Structure 1
Amino acid sequence: MDISISDFNKIRQKAGKKIIMMPDNVQALSNEVKEKKLMLEQQMLSQSIPIPVYFAPFNKNLEHIINDITSTPIQNNVQNKTALGQLLLSVNANGYHITVDGQNGVANKNSKVSTIQGEFVPNPFAMQQLESGGDSNILPLILITANLKTFGIINDYPLNADTAVLMALIEIFSKLHTTVSTTPKYRLGFLLSDSGLLLNFQGSKKWIEMDDSLALRVIKY
C-alpha cells in the first residue's frame, strides 16, 4: 500500500530484488486506491525492469518483518537527521537476508495463454450445402470474442462483465438454433481468451497464430 511509482523507480535502480506484499483484502480497497495501483501496474509493464519483482500474498510473518525493518526506537526521533542518528539507526536496525532457491530468473518465452473456443453446428441451410458437395467451413463466420481478466496486481473477478455477456449470448443463440426459422445462415463462433488489454491481447494473438488461414478468411464480422 505504501509504494508509489516514484518509489518503485528509485528501488529498481538500487535494489537486487523486490518483494511486494499484497493487501489482506484487495476487494475492500477503495476505487481511488485501486486506480493508483493500476497506474503502478501500467508503469511496471511499460518499462524494462532489470531486477526480479515478487508479489506475495498477505502474510502475517512477512508483515512482521516489514514492520520490523521500517520502524526502530529512534526512527521518529529528530536525531535521525544527524550523522550520529544515522549511525545509531544502522546499528539498531534489524537486518534480513532473503534467498530464492532455484536457477536465476529468465524470461518465459513459452508461456501458455488459456483460450476457449466453440462453434454452433451448421444450420439446415448449411447441411443442404454439404449434401450438394459444399463445405460448411466456407460459410461466413461471425466471431464473438471476450477476454478474461485474470492477470494483474488487482484482479476484480466480479468485473469480468464481457465474459458474462459472452455466456449470455451463447445461451440466447443456442435457443435460436432450436428453431429452423430463427437459425442464422452463418457460422457462429465464440472465443474466450485470457490476457486482454493489459497484455496487448496475447490470447487473441496466440489464437490467430494457431488457427488455420481458411477460418480467418471467412470471418465476416
Structure 2
Amino acid sequence: MSPRSSRRSRRAAQLLTSEKLGLFGEVLTTSLWVAVLAIPLITALPALALGCAHLGRFIRGERDDLATLARDGLDALRRGLLWSVLLVIVAVGGYIGVASPAAELAPGSGPLRGLSVVLLVGIAVVVLRACAMWTRADSWKRLLERSVRRCLTDLRGSTLLLLAVVLAGVVAWMFAPLIVVVPGLLAFAAVAVELGYREEGPAGRP
C-alpha cells in the first residue's frame, strides 16, 4: 500500500469513528422514532420535545436510557397533549389556507396565503424553541411564553431556526421520502440554538 493510500485509509477510519459521525447517526435515529411517535399528529409536540431532550443529553454526555425516555415521554404526553392538539388544528388550518384550491378563488388570496406561510413558520420557530427548553418540571404554557420572549430577544438564534424550518420544508417538498429525517434535524437545530443561547447569553435573559 502506498503512503498516500495509507494516509487516506487512516483518515477514513478517523472519520468513521469521529464524534461528529456518532452525532449524525444519533440525529437520524432520533428522527426516525420521533416521526413514528408523531404519526397520530396529536402527539407531534410531545414527540419533538422528547427528541430534543434526548439529543440534549447526548450532546452534553449525560446518561440516557429507556427508563428515562419512558418517563419523559409519558410526562410530555400528559402535559403537552392538549397543546399539541391546538397546534395541530392551527397548522392544519394554515395549511388549508395555503394549499386549498378554494383559497385561490377568494379575493386577496395572495397576501392571505403569504401571511399564512409566515404565521406557520413563526409558530414552528416558537414551538422548536419551546421543545428545546422542555423539562419535566415545566408547563407548556410557561414554555411557550418563554419561547416567544426568547424569539424576540435572541434574533440570531431565531433566524437560524427560521432558516432550518424553511430548508426542511424545501427538502421535504423536493424529495418527500426525506421527510422522515426532518424531525431529527429540526430537533438538533433547536437544541444547538438553545445551547448556544445558554453559553453566550448574559445572565438575566429569559
Give the TM-score normalised by the residue count of structure 2. Answer: 0.22
Higher strand share: 1
| Greater RCO, CA 8 A, separation 6+ | 2
Give the TM-score normalised by the residue count of structure 1. Answer: 0.21
Higher helix share: 2
